[in-house]
Amino acid sequence: MDQIETYKQQIVDACRVLVERGYLMATGGNVSLRVADAERNSFAITPSNYDYAKMTPDDVCTLDLDLNLLTGQRTPSIESSLHATVYQTRPDVNAVVHTHQVYASALALIDAPIPALFDEQARFLGRSVEIIPYAPSGTGFLKKNIARRIKNHHNAYILQNHGVLCFGPSMEQAIHNVEILEKCALAYLLALCTERKVTKIPLAVREIAFNKLRQDQKKVERRDPCQEENR
Ligand SMILES: [Zn+2]
- For 5-52, the pLDDT digits (tens) are 999 999 999 999 999 999 998 888 999 999 988 888 999 999 999 999
What is the C-alpha radius of gyration for the chain, rounded to an integer number of angstroms? 17
What is the Å distance from ligand 1's center to 126 Cα?
22
What is the Å distance from ligand 1's center to 172 Cα?
20
Does this model's pTM top 0.85? My answer is yes
| Three-state DSSP class for residue 156 | strand
What is the Å distance from ligand 1's center to 52 Cα?
14
Show the 3-state SS of 31-68.
Answer: EEEECCCCCCCEEEECECCCCHHHCCHHHCEEEECCCC
**Strand 42-45 to strand 131-132: parallel, antiparallel, or no bridges (unpaired)?**
unpaired
Active site residues: 79
pLDDT number for residue 158 = 97
What is the Å distance from ligand 1's center to 195 Cα?
30
Contacts 24+ apart (CB under 8 A), 82-87: 82/142, 82/143, 82/146, 82/165, 83/30, 83/32, 83/43, 83/45, 84/43, 85/143, 85/146, 85/147, 86/146, 86/150, 86/165, 86/167, 87/34, 87/40, 87/41, 87/43
**pLDDT > 60? residue 224:** no
